[in-house]
Amino acid sequence: MKILLLAPTSGSWKKAARSKFFNGRTFRFSLLSLLSVAAETPQNVTVRIVDEQVEEIPWQEKFDLVGITCMTALAPRAYEIAAGFRERNMPVILGGMHPTLCPEDACLHADAVLVGDAEGIWEQVVADVRNGRLQKIYRNSSPPSLAGLKSIPRYLLDRSAYSTINAVQATRGCPNACEFCAVSAFHKQTQRRRPVEEVVAEISQIPDKFFMLVDDNLTADAEYAARLFRALAPLQKLWGTQAAISIADDPELVRLAAEAGCIGLFIGIETFSEANLNGVAKTCNRVEKYREAIRLFHSYGIAVEAGIVFGFDNDRMTVFQNTLRLLDELEIDMIQASIFTPLPGTKRYTDMQARIIDRDWVNYDFHSVVFQPKHMSAADLQAGHDWITCEFYKPWRIIRRLWRHAKRPRSLAAMPYLAVVNMAYYGRVFNWNIRGFNPAETRKIQVAIPECNRAELLQQVKMN
Ligand code: B12
Ligand code: SF4
């Protein structure tokens, strides 16, 4: 029996994959979703993983089952590919974020849909294919335990095509209830954790120095995180992960993370407006604590990538210029600027139905406006997001950030990481030619964005 597991790609990601320079390799890592499904596949089945960013789809080959993973923005491409294989008489199953949050949509385009985690149910899917009785929907009756997960077959990937294939997960989900978050919707505001010794055993098998913990909120359970960090420290590896900014409420935990080799944190700062945070129930962020938290991370040489979102209901045209000033003020090392996106399956999607102006999933890529903002036009929101992205990654700002980082204590370990990611973002913004990321256009936009006064601004956002 032969199974193909496929990761689709589209839009600018596809373009980047095809171009010779700035090919997006830095941002390409993991594929842990498909690797986890492959790990669960019985030994006597041949599994092939194809990442459309890396290689062509093997249309001419014959498979007994084709499994496709997809996020919302990639759903249309996943459906297109599914149609291609079904025309060739090969059954298709869809799984991952979008099929789980929108099974009724996914069901229209596939022979079967797997809702939620694959562990605990994938073996049944394989058995059903073998017996010719594939069902329409598969889901575990309750989320499977993460103890005793099978070993991840990273050898199925061409490692030269990825910045790292060393993606590991210690926990799944997040207990918080931020109303815009797909993770919260997928995992129903819960977090499951793997036994610390199993995570450490997996990481100790990785031959490289660097790995990524692709958890959603690694430090949600501080006691678990502390145990994990203590156990990781002797391995002397370097790693980055995502955590809520509230990790800084526990300076001892930050110290343990640094001693365990943490060199980078992706933090969902989202906005500098308390009203915006309250509007989406992101209660783990408090604007007045941002500065203290970032200083703490920096004091351990940990680089901070901030997730910043524009288009919240209290955002006005001043938000772009103000946010750039505040990011500079906090010495944030990298940003991932996004446009607010009401993702299907989340509370915000339901609440914002009347304001949604674009229902093409392709545009649910966090860089396009799909709803009517409250205090600006959709075009202004798009322009402001494009403007700040270009401004933040201008070469002089990147050099200043590297210089500032170099002056911090323990900065050496994170320096290459910081430089590579900043340069990769530069390449992405200025060379991928992503829609909206046109430097000539953004120069014009700058004129329309109001200037702001530093002291007034700090007082206004109550950031001490
Ligand atoms: C690591 C990561 C990335 C990495 C690597 C992605 C990759 N290709 O592996 C990078 C940085 C490249 C990335 C990029 C993006 N990401 Co991302 N990413 C993640 C993150 C943090 C972890 C994913 C992961 O590896 N999970 C671990 C695995 C084991 O869990 P899993 O994916 O749920 O898989 C299990 C089940 O879902 C199921 N399953 C999954 N796929 C399949 C397929 C089949 C056939 C079957 C049967 C089962 C199955 O089985 C698995 C095992 O149980 C998630 C958050 C999350 N919790 O998922 C966001 C997340 C998936 N990303 C998201 C987004 C929006 C993006 C971007 C669009 C961001 C942007 N603006 O650029 C891009 C899109 C990239 C692209 N076009 O390809 C959103 C998706 C929201 C949505 N509803 O669509 C998420 C949920 C983050 C969030 N909080 O909103 N991402
Ligand atoms: S803290 Fe982060 S991962 Fe958790 S629900 Fe909120 S946005 Fe999602």
- In the chain, the amino acid numbered 265 is L
**Cβ atoms of residues 344 and 303 within 8 Å:** no
Q: Ligand 2, closest atom to CA 182?
A: 8
| Helix (H/G/I), strand (E/B), else coil: 308 | strand
Q: Which of 176, 266, 347, 348 most suits a substitution to test ligand 2, by most atoms within 8 Å of the C-beta? A: 176
Q: Is the CB of 244 under 6 A from ligand 2?
A: yes
* Residue located nearest, by CA, to atom 67 of ligand 1: 365
Which range, of 1-5, 305-309, 312-316, 383-387, averages the lowest pLDDT? 383-387
Q: Is the pLDDT of residue 436 over 50?
A: no
Torsion (CA) 22, 28, 29, 30 in degrees, nearest 10? -170
**Is the CB of 271 inside a 6 Å radius of any atom of ligand 2?**
no
Residue 220 near residue 174, CB atoms below 8 Å: yes
User: Quick one: what percent of the chain has pLDDT higher than 90?
Assistant: 83
> Is residue 368 scored above 80 in pLDDT?
yes
d(CA 412, CA 400): 16
**Predicted model pTM:** 0.95
Lowest mean pLDDT among 21-30, 116-125, 170-179, 240-249: 21-30
Give the amino acid at 237: K
Residue 17 confidence (pLDDT): 63
Give the mean pLDDT of the chain.
Answer: 93
Domains of the chain, start order: 2-139 (3.40.50.280), 164-431 (3.80.30.20)
Separation of CA 31 and ligand 1 centre (Å): 8
Ligand 2 pocket mutation, candidates 97, 180, 184, 218, criterion most atoms within 8 A of CB: 184
Q: Average the pLDDT over 180-186 and give the result.
A: 97
Contact between 293 and 254 (Cβ < 8 Å): no
461 compared with 37, residue with greater pLDDT = 37
H or E element that contains 114: strand 112-115
Q: Which atom of ligand 1 is nearest to the CA of 94?
A: 45
State how far the alpha carbon of 113 is from the alpha carbons of 69, 183, 455, 459, in Å.
Answer: 10, 19, 54, 51
d(CA 306, CA 89): 45
Binding site membership of 365 for ligand 1 (Cβ less than 6 Å): yes
How far is the C-alpha of 180 from the C-alpha of 182, rounded, in Å? 7
Distance from Cα 182 to the centre of ligand 1, integer Å: 10
- Which ligand 1 atom is at minimum distance from the Cα of 169? 27
